[in-house]
């Protein structure tokens, strides 16, 4: 397992495969206020590729080509936030997508615990640390501990997706899950557009 850190964009010619796990680190939870700082990605091979985003940066051609490639499934945990952050930073709609948090809420209806740390413990027996979660991701030089933390958020998502695929099939919820995944980029756009806390389907 290795971490590969790049600045501003993915390198030319890098192919992360047909399913890429993605997570973002920002300065906070308000995409209009808090800038995107780091994007971590894994093709499921145990390696993590991280792109550090410069303040004010608005373009990342290689990264955006992958985010919008219809042949590459982008795999998230709570993709709603990450897709909105990427849309706000680079102006691209990430698709197609899969979200393990949505999958969890559809099949693990016996609990209200759907955080990544809990899911990895319960479903895969993997324990990850969240110690660096609230560190300064805007720092010009990230520490090894920060990079390892960021990597842990994507390295196991392929295994988690495989486990949820089985549960979605068992509970006959594959179709509704896919419909939710397909809607997710629109939900992220609604968040950015001013409806973050509004259920547009309510009366």
- Position 190 scores a pLDDT of 97
* pLDDT at 110 (0 to 100): 97
Residue ranges in the chain whose pLDDT is less than 50: none
Interaxial angle between packed helices 79-90 and 174-193, expressed in degrees from 0 to 180 and rounded to the nearest 10: 40
| Full set of structural domains in the chain with CATH | 3-11+19-193 (3.30.420.10)
pLDDT computed for residue 128 by the predictor: 86
Predicted pLDDT of residue 133: 67
- pLDDT tens digits, one per residue of 86-144: 999 999 999 999 999 999 999 999 999 999 999 999 999 999 877 666 789 999 999 99
> What is the rounded CA–CA span in Å between residue 62 and residue 8?
10
Instruction: Say what the pLDDT of residue 1 is.
Output: 81
Contact 181, 97 (CB under 8 A): yes
Structure tokens at 159: 């295994």
Q: What does the pLDDT read at residue 129?
A: 75
In 10 A of CB 178, how many CB atoms?
13
DSSP type of residue 124: I
Q: How distant, in Å, are the alpha carbons of 69, 96, 131, 198 from that of 74?
A: 9, 6, 26, 26
């Amino acid at each position: 397992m290795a971490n590969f850190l790049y600045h501003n964009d993915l390198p030319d010619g890098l192919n992360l495969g047909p399913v890429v796990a993605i997570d973002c680190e920002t300065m906070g939870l308000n995409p209009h206020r808090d800038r995107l700082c780091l994007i971590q990605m894994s093709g499921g091979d145990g390696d993590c590729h991280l792109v550090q985003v410069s303040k004010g940066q608005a373009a990342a051609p290689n990264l955006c080509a992958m985010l919008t490639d219809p042949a590459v499934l982008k795999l998230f945990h709570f993709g709603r936030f990450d897709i909105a952050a990427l849309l706000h930073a680079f102006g691209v709609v990430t698709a197609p997508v899969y979200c393990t948090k949505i999958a969890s809420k559809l099949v693990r209806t016996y609990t209200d615990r759907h955080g990544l740390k809990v899911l990895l413990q319960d479903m895969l027996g993997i324990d990850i640390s969240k110690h660096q979660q609230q560190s300064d991701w805007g720092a010009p030089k990230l520490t090894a501990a920060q990079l390892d933390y960021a990597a842990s958020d994507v390295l196991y998502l392929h295994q988690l997706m495989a486990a949820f695929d089985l549960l979605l099939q068992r509970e006959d919820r594959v179709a509704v899950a896919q419909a939710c995944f397909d809607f997710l980029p629109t939900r992220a756009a609604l968040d950015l557009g001013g409806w973050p806390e509004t259920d547009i389907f309510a009366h």
